[in-house]
Structure 1
Amino acid sequence: MSVPTDAWDWLSDGANWSGESGVWHRLAEHAYVSGVALAVACAVALPVGLWLGHLGRGGTLAAQVSNVGRAVPVFAVLALFMVSPLRNSGYLPTITALVLFAIPPLLTNAYVGMRQVDRSVVEAARGMGMSGGQLFRRVELPLAYPLVMTGLRSAAVQVVATATIAAMVGQGGLGRIITAGFNTYDTGQVVAGALLVAGLALLVEGVLLVADRLCAPARR
């Protein structure tokens, strides 16, 4: 039988979707780890990036953080955590590694989005008597919104795809389906697990794209 057929047979088998090792349970674990990591990364990176962009300072810091985030492999960070005292702290090592991975695109896009706001518009708003806070909320943030959302979508897809590394250290998520397939030499299961991860990443991208269009300042 061909690999696509084997993958389809695995996905269409109801027994593979139930229980603690089933798809629904692994999907919930994957969504939990990805969601927490993305929320923490947003809470850390977006305020810093937006504020530095508003002040017009910290461009070097944003670039350095982005470069470091791209240069350091996530699995290397996770491996360091797994040999530290945090190795027995549940999903904390995986979430921490994913947060460090998600911060660069969020921070960089937030900063660049703020700095690309037309300076003539900013000066006109100041001339109208707007305070710094009003300028930030009513002018700069709405104009920076598209690039900020682009960074959020990019970070979300990357986190969902990379969260499979949790399986390499014995934790949950859709990656466990892939590693289980490798362990039993079941190529169909490996492909099925990869398709599930890809499908989840595309779903997250689609949901955020719809949310972007519904919440866009121009639409409101």
Structure 2
Amino acid sequence: MTFLQELSSWFAPRSADPVPEPPKPGDPAPTTSTIQLSGSPTILTFLRHCGCPFAEKTFLNLRETARAHRSTTFLAISHSSPAATSAWLAALPQAGSEPDNLHVLVDEACEAYAAWGLGVVGFGHVLSVGGLGSVWRLGREEGIWNRPTESGSRWQRAGSFGVDGEGVVRWARPARGAEEIVDFEEGVGVVLGKGGEAEERA
């Protein structure tokens, strides 16, 4: 990892096409070449850049939820490069312990991110006072700090969604701030029909 690689993560990516609104509960799941839904209930999370402590916490939570729900498919989507994503995964606690219903996909061009309504965010999303405080608390309380960022953008919006076996979005949590960590157990409950339909977020 070089200084220039770290610096480049602060440059906002440019999208040639406008990004649609994120899908809401009841909408059909967007179709992309990167994400092939299997027909089983699926929880998807689109991560911030590899190296972000919130992306790490999100992935660790997703992994734990996947272990508890083996009949549900879990997808983690990274927009960092394949090499950077692999290196990041190898550096995480209990690396290699992912259950076989959890899959990591790479969408370096952010085509799937855009199809799911996740575009470039502004200054307040990334560098809010609350978000900066959350970075410190996450490090102090759980030992999750920033790791080197080899590729990816800090300005890419994250988000999580739940899709039922018919390919319909049932749970939608596009991130409202960089520090947001979602409750994947809630998502599983909604997708499997064990809870009321969650309120979508725009």
Question: Which TM class, normalised by the smaller chain length?
Answer: under 0.3
Structure in which a larger fraction of residues adopt helix: 1
Q: Which has the higher contact order (CA 8 A, sep 6+)?
A: 2
TM-score, normalisation: structure 1: 0.21
Structure in which a larger fraction of residues adopt strand: 2
